Amino acid sequence: MEESMFKILAKFNTVIEAEVVQLILEAEGISSDVLDSNLAFSLGPTSIQGIRLQVKTEDYERALEIYNNRNNDLENQ
């Protein structure tokens, strides 16, 4: 079985949270896609699944490091 070309980096409660991380990744040269944003706008917060942010499998490790560093920076403020 062939490995997926994309991996879910994280799940968020709101589209805005996902898009903020997407912009941070973009600034580092990593493309990503926010999934389920249309569902969130039509049904409200998607508490079951969350708003997913996916990156290419080859970018996953670097994206995860950037994401984790961002979270650590926020916790230390």
| Structural domain count, the chain | 1
Answer whether residue 46 is part of any domain.
Answer: yes
Q: What single-letter amino acid sits at 10? A: A
Give the chain's residues under pLDDT 70: 1-4, 38-48, 73-77
The per-residue pLDDT for 62 is 98
pTM of the model: 0.79
Structure tokens at 10: 């994280």
Answer whether residue 24 is part of any domain.
Answer: yes
pLDDT digits 0-9 by tens, 36-50: 876 655 555 545 678
Percent of the chain with pLDDT over 90: 60
Structure tokens at 74: 């926020």
* CB-based contact 46:36 (threshold 8 Å): yes
* CB-based contact 10:53 (threshold 8 Å): yes
Q: What single-letter amino acid sits at 66? A: I
Answer whether residue 67 is part of any domain.
Answer: yes
Answer whether residue 71 is part of any domain.
Answer: yes
Q: What angle do CA 10, 60, 13 make, to 5 degrees?
A: 10
Answer whether residue 1 is part of any domain.
Answer: no
The CATH number covering residue 52 comes to 3.30.70
Domain that holds residue 54: 6-75
The per-residue pLDDT for 22 is 97
